[in-house]
């Protein structure tokens, strides 16, 4: 039932030509005023850099000149990127990095959350210990892992040699074939606690009476999980996967500190490549074009993230 | 822009006591330059401690000691691979500057070698650079050519151009104009562990004479003792890589251009020459064929080699004399049996000249750092306090401080630093200094081109990595690098 107040009616009479959207904005002007400072800040620190990056992506910025000496070249930077071999190599690395890190972190985090959802002695302590990789500084973790993996004196190599399993320490990060999987392992170690926390929170929302009812109906553990628990976790899973994917696509610290994108570009992902192009080689125009492409991909992921969140809200609203 | 005129300083009575003080000691302003034609360890010893300098009095002639101002200053400072001794000298310098110029509000920021260029470039894009900056030798030409730096020559801070190494002055000169002053200049040396040599059946007191010997020795050490022979370094975006590979490249007769010749023109790219390929092949032989160097070379910097060396797991490396002090620092931090082990390494540490190439050519990077003043339009706030900037530059490039700030490993940018009492003290305290001063005549500066940082920090290490990982053959890696340099020089 819609209640039309006299005030609202009078407002409508005052602005007879306004469209529905504008009228809504006018009606919510106080709300907009509250968010205005945040919008202004966002325009300064987000919208302008985005605009500038897009603009710069259409310019040639020779490394020997100042940025103000740039020249307009249209889509040439985009063409150069898409036709370069390095782009495809870096894109392939990025896909492996993002998918590998995201999916394995999620599965591992989910499995751990399920294990920790059961009641057992020491659960709290275990939960606290498992969160450590996530709260530890990524920079510190990268340096520690660099030494764990060290191709000559790493702990893993020493243990394997000590056990007689190998003559020489395995080459983890100085080899083009093994470097990316090795970095993904570090990333998973750091990220799976995030997935674990998200899924643990999700598990709290699964109605206990539904599980009990299913049990009474004769459903076994797997059936209870698949038909009751998992459907309830679908939205939180989507959100977790999207957040992990966005974070991994944007990930910089671990590959940069541990290998600098090497050896021989084997661990360069988009973000490290962009950094090197911009700050190491001063190809600001090309780096900007890369950034625009990355921005579009992340915005697409962001769209699905928002959709997933809205889906949650709608579901909760209808429930 | 703030300027102090000499006349107004005299009027304020600040110069008179300064002139009196300068009469009491020999001023750097009138000192005769060191005779480079006589350069040898004996000559360096003969001139050490022969002259006194009064830094405060000399700098007061440039900027009065009571000058009131504000200075923002970034510098390439000490990092994890430097000895504690150097940390102390840096601390002392800034304390002394603040005492000498109590009315200059100094906002200083230290950055490591590998971070400074990135941060400085970014700051320049946003017109948020500091008023003065001390950069690695590679950086001067890049920023001068782009118009970020003010003209600045030694005469502007009371010294003469002849007081500095001619090669170092080239690195701060662009298009005939001088844009900075060298603070320190360095040449590294060859270091080996005599005990490891002995155990491997090599002469413990004899350094490998040629790079081919290095390859042989490295293999022999590895095969006999199961440890790494030579401390190859091939990480990208790290200054350590070109400092260690370029001497090898030049010794084999190669180069990026013709920078190893007396009058380089930088017109012809030489990275794909047979000589350059031979140098790359030497690294390949050690890393891939013989597996006689650390596997971790592709991700290592020299700071990673130091613990390996002190642990007795590395036979040879190229570095500064300061590595001796670094070993002492590391030994002090070790415990139990590790401490004794480290002591054995220190007792067996030997320094020698960097090996020659097949034709007897010996080369080393003539490295170092320069100090510069920025143009006001690129500085935060749009103003440069020039007298304050010149005050710190005068102090840092003085005979006293250019020596002290290079005490443990490098050499003073100001040649008069070799005449100070601190040089004499240093010759007694810092082991193996003779070797690096002997290497100075073999020093070759990086190409004085704005493209040099990208060539040295990215293209050369990429070439090494491409060859050593098997991503490309030696020939392909050298050709690929040469093409990248050509593209870069062509403005791509």
CB spacing of B148 vs A66 below 8 angstroms: yes
Q: Look at residue A318 in the predicted model and tell me its pLDDT.
A: 53
Q: Are B61 and B30 in contact (CB under 8 A)?
A: no
Residue B109 φ/ψ, nearest 5 degrees: -140, 120
Q: Look at residue B232 in the predicted model and tell me its pLDDT.
A: 95
A139 lies within 8 A of chain B by CB: no
Q: Look at residue B8 in the predicted model and tell me its pLDDT.
A: 40
Which 3-state string (H, E, C) describes chain A? CCCCCHHHHHHHHHCCCCCHHHHHHHHCHHHHHHHHHHHHHHHHHHHHHHHHHHHHCCEECCCCCCHHHCEECCCHHHHHHHHCHHHHHHHHHHHHHHHHHHHHHHHHHHHHHHHHHCCCCCHHHHHHHHHHHHHCCHHHHHHHHHHHHCCCCCHHHHHHHHCCCCCCCCCCCCCCCCHHHHHHHHHHHHHHHHHHHHHHHHHHCCCHHHHHHHHHCCCCHHHHHHHHHHHHCHHHHHHHHHHHHHHHHCCCHHHHHHCCCCCCCCCCCHHHHHHHHHHHCCCHHHHHHHHHHHHHHHHHHHHHHHHHHHHHHHHHHHC
* Mean local confidence (pLDDT), B69-95: 89
As a whole number of angstroms, the distance between CA B27 and CA A180 comes to: 59
Q: Write out pLDDT tens, residues B285-301.
A: 999 999 999 999 998 88
Helix axes A284-318, A76-83, angle to 10 degrees: 80
pLDDT band at B33 (very low <50, low <70, confident <90, very high): low
Show the domains of chain A with their CATH numbers. Answer: 72-318 (1.10.3720.10)
Q: Identify the DSSP state of B164.
A: B
β-strand pairing of B443-444 with B69-76: unpaired
Mean confidence (pLDDT) of chain A: 88
* % of chain A with per-residue pLDDT over 70: 92
Mean confidence (pLDDT) of chain B: 88
Selecting from B121, B122, B471 the residue whose C-beta is nearest the C-beta of A176 gives B471
Q: Write out pLDDT tens, residues A15-69.
A: 555 678 888 888 888 998 999 999 899 888 888 899 999 999 999 988 878 888 8
Q: Look at residue B14 in the predicted model and tell me its pLDDT.
A: 36
Q: Look at residue B427 in the predicted model and tell me its pLDDT.
A: 87
- Chain A residues with beta carbon closer than 8 angstroms to that of B461: 262
CB spacing of B469 vs A63 below 8 angstroms: no
Q: Look at residue A168 in the predicted model and tell me its pLDDT.
A: 85
Selecting from B450, B457, B469 the residue whose C-beta is nearest the C-beta of A176 gives B469
* Mean local confidence (pLDDT), B334-360: 90
Q: Look at residue A94 in the predicted model and tell me its pLDDT.
A: 95
pLDDT band at B17 (very low <50, low <70, confident <90, very high): very low
Q: Look at residue A2 in the predicted model and tell me its pLDDT.
A: 47
Q: Identify the DSSP state of B262.
A: S
Q: Write out pLDDT tens, residues A202-253.
A: 998 888 888 899 989 888 988 988 898 988 898 899 889 999 999 999 899 9
Q: What residues 264-303 of chain B have any CB closer than 8 A to a CB of chain A?
A: 294-299
With CA atoms as reference, report the closest residue to B320 among B172, B439, B455.
B439
What is the H or E stretch that residue B106 is in? Answer: strand B104-111
With CA atoms as reference, report the closest residue to B269 among B280, B279, B255.
B255
Q: Look at residue A12 in the predicted model and tell me its pLDDT.
A: 54
Selecting from B147, B454, B465 the residue whose C-beta is nearest the C-beta of A262 gives B465
pLDDT band at A11 (very low <50, low <70, confident <90, very high): low
Q: Look at residue B19 in the predicted model and tell me its pLDDT.
A: 32
| B10 pLDDT above the threshold of 50 | no
Interface test with A, best of B115, B299, B338 (most A CBs within 10 A): B299
B128 lies within 8 A of chain A by CB: no
Q: Write out pLDDT tens, residues A136-160.
A: 999 999 999 998 999 888 899 999 9
Interface test with B, best of A169, A174, A276 (most B CBs within 10 A): A174
* Min distance A245 CA to chain B CA atoms (Å): 27
| B133 pLDDT above the threshold of 50 | yes
* % of chain B with per-residue pLDDT over 90: 63
Q: Look at residue B115 in the predicted model and tell me its pLDDT.
A: 84
As a whole number of angstroms, the distance between CA B176 and CA B409 comes to: 31
Show the domains of chain B with their CATH numbers. Answer: 6-187+366-444 (3.40.190.10), 189-364+451-489 (3.40.190.10)
With CA atoms as reference, report the closest residue to B51 among B68, B64, B33.
B33
Q: For residue A120, how far is the Cα from the chain centroid?
A: 32
Q: Look at residue A6 in the predicted model and tell me its pLDDT.
A: 55
Interface test with B, best of A60, A61, A153, A158 (most B CBs within 10 A): A153
pLDDT band at B416 (very low <50, low <70, confident <90, very high): very high
pLDDT band at A311 (very low <50, low <70, confident <90, very high): low
Q: Look at residue B118 in the predicted model and tell me its pLDDT.
A: 87
Q: Write out pLDDT tens, residues B202-242.
A: 999 999 999 999 999 999 999 999 999 999 999 887 778 99
B118 lies within 8 A of chain A by CB: yes
pLDDT band at B323 (very low <50, low <70, confident <90, very high): confident
| A3 pLDDT above the threshold of 80 | no
ipTM above 0.90, yes or no: no
Q: Look at residue B433 in the predicted model and tell me its pLDDT.
A: 82
| B243 pLDDT above the threshold of 50 | yes
Q: Look at residue A20 in the predicted model and tell me its pLDDT.
A: 80
Selecting from A63, A151, A263 the residue whose C-beta is nearest the C-beta of B469 gives A263
Name the more confident of B354 and A22. Answer: B354
* Mean local confidence (pLDDT), A248-266: 92
**Which residue shows structure tokens 């430097």?**
B82
| A196 pLDDT above the threshold of 50 | yes
Q: Write out pLDDT tens, residues B432-470.
A: 888 878 888 898 989 988 899 899 999 999 999 999 999
Name the more confident of A126 and B114. Answer: A126
Q: Write out pLDDT tens, residues B253-270.
A: 999 999 998 888 999 999
| B28 pLDDT above the threshold of 70 | no
CB spacing of A146 vs B299 below 8 angstroms: yes
pLDDT band at A319 (very low <50, low <70, confident <90, very high): very low
As a whole number of angstroms, the distance between CA A293 and CA A268 comes to: 16
Q: Look at residue A281 in the predicted model and tell me its pLDDT.
A: 87
B18 lies within 8 A of chain A by CB: no
Q: Look at residue A317 in the predicted model and tell me its pLDDT.
A: 55
As a whole number of angstroms, the distance between CA B226 and CA B217 comes to: 13
* % of chain B with per-residue pLDDT over 70: 93
Q: Look at residue B15 in the predicted model and tell me its pLDDT.
A: 34
CB spacing of A64 vs B469 below 8 angstroms: no
CB neighbour class for B371 (10 Å; exposed up to 12, middle 13-18, buried from 19) = buried
């Amino acid at each position: 039932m819609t209640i039309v107040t006299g005030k609202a009616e009078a407002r409508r009479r005052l602005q007879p030509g306004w469209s529905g959207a504008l009228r809504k904005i006018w009606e919510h002007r106080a709300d907009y005023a509250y968010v205005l400072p945040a919008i202004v800040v966002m325009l300064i620190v987000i919208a302008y850099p985005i605009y500038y990056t897009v603009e710069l992506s259409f310019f040639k910025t020779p490394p020997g000149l100042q940025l103000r000496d740039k020249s307009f070249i249209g889509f040439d930077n985009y063409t150069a990127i898409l036709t370069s071999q390095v782009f495809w190599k870096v894109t392939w690395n990025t896909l492996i990095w993002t998918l590998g890190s995201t999916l394995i972190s999620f599965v591992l985090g989910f499995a751990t959350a399920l294990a920790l959802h059961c009641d057992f002695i020491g659960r709290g302590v275990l939960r606290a210990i498992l969160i450590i990789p996530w709260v530890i500084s990524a920079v510190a973790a990268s340096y520690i892992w660099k030494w764990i993996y060290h191709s000559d004196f790493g702990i893993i190599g020493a243990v394997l040699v000590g056990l007689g399993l190998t003559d020489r320490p395995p080459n983890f990060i100085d080899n083009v074939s093994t470097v990316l999987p090795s970095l993904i392992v570090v990333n998973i170690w750091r990220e799976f606690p995030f997935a674990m926390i998200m899924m643990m929170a999700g598990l709290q929302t699964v109605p206990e009476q539904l599980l009990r009812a299913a049990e009474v109906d004769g459903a076994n553990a797997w059936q209870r999980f698949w038909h009751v628990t998992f459907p309830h976790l679908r939205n939180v899973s989507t959100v977790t996967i999207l957040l992990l994917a966005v974070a991994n696509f944007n990930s910089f610290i671990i590959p940069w500190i541990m290998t600098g994108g090497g050896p021989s570009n084997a661990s360069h992902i988009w973000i490290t490549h962009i950094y090197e192009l911009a700050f190491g080689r001063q190809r600001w125009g090309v780096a900007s074009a890369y950034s625009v492409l990355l921005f579009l991909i992340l915005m697409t992921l962001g769209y699905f993230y928002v959709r997933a969140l809205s889906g949650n809200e709608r579901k909760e609203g209808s429930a | 822009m703030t300027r102090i005129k000499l006349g107004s300083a005299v009027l304020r009575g600040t110069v008179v006591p300064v002139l009196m003080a300068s009469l009491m000691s020999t001023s750097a302003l009138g000192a005769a330059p060191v005779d480079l034609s006589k350069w040898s360890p004996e000559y360096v010893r003969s001139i050490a401690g022969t002259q006194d300098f009064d830094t405060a009095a000399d700098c007061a002639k440039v900027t009065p000691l009571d000058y009131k101002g504000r200075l923002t200053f970034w510098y390439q400072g000490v990092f994890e691979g430097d000895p504690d001794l150097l940390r102390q000298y840096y601390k002392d310098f800034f304390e002394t500057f603040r005492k000498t110029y109590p009315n200059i509000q100094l906002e200083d920021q230290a950055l490591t070698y590998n971070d400074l260029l990135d941060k400085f470039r970014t700051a320049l894009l946003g017109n948020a650079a500091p008023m003065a900056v001390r950069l690695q030798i590679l950086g001067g030409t890049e920023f001068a050519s782009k118009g970020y730096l003010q003209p600045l020559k030694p005469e502007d801070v009371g010294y003469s151009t002849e007081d500095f190494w001619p090669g170092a002055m080239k690195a701060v000169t662009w298009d005939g104009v001088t844009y900075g002053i060298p603070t320190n200049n360095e040449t590294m040396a060859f270091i080996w562990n005599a005990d490891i040599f002995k155990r491997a059946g090599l002469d413990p007191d004899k350094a490998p004479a040629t790079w081919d010997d290095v390859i042989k020795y490295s293999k022999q050490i590895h095969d006999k003792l199961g440890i790494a022979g030579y401390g190859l370094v091939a990480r990208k975006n790290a200054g350590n890589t070109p400092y260690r590979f370029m001497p090898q490249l030049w010794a084999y007769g190669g180069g990026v251009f013709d920078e190893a010749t007396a009058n380089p023109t930088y017109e012809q790219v030489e990275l794909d020459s047979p000589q350059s390929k031979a140098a790359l092949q030497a690294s390949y032989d050690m890393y891939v064929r013989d597996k006689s160097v650390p596997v971790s070379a592709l991700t290592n910097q020299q700071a990673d080699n130091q613990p390996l060396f002190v642990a007795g797991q590395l036979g040879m490396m190229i570095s500064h004399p300061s590595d001796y002090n670094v070993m002492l620092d590391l030994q002090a931090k070790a415990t139990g049996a590790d401490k004794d082990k480290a002591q054995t390494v220190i007792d067996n540490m030997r320094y020698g000249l960097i090996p020659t190439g097949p034709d007897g050519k010996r080369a080393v990077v003539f490295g170092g750092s320069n100090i510069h003043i920025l143009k006001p339009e690129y500085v935060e706030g749009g103003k440069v306090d020039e007298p304050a900037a010149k005050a710190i530059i005068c102090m840092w490039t003085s005979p006293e401080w250019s020596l002290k700030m290079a005490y443990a490993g490098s050499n003073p940018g100001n040649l008069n630093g070799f005449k100070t009492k601190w040089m004499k003290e240093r010759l007694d305290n810092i082991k193996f200094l003779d070797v690096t001063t002997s290497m100075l005549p073999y020093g070759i500066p990086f190409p004085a081109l704005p493209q040099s940082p990208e060539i040295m920090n990215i293209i050369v290490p990429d070439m090494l990595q491409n060859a050593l990982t098997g991503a490309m053959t030696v020939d392909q890696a050298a050709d690929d690098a040469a093409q990248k340099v050509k593209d870069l020089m062509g403005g791509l």
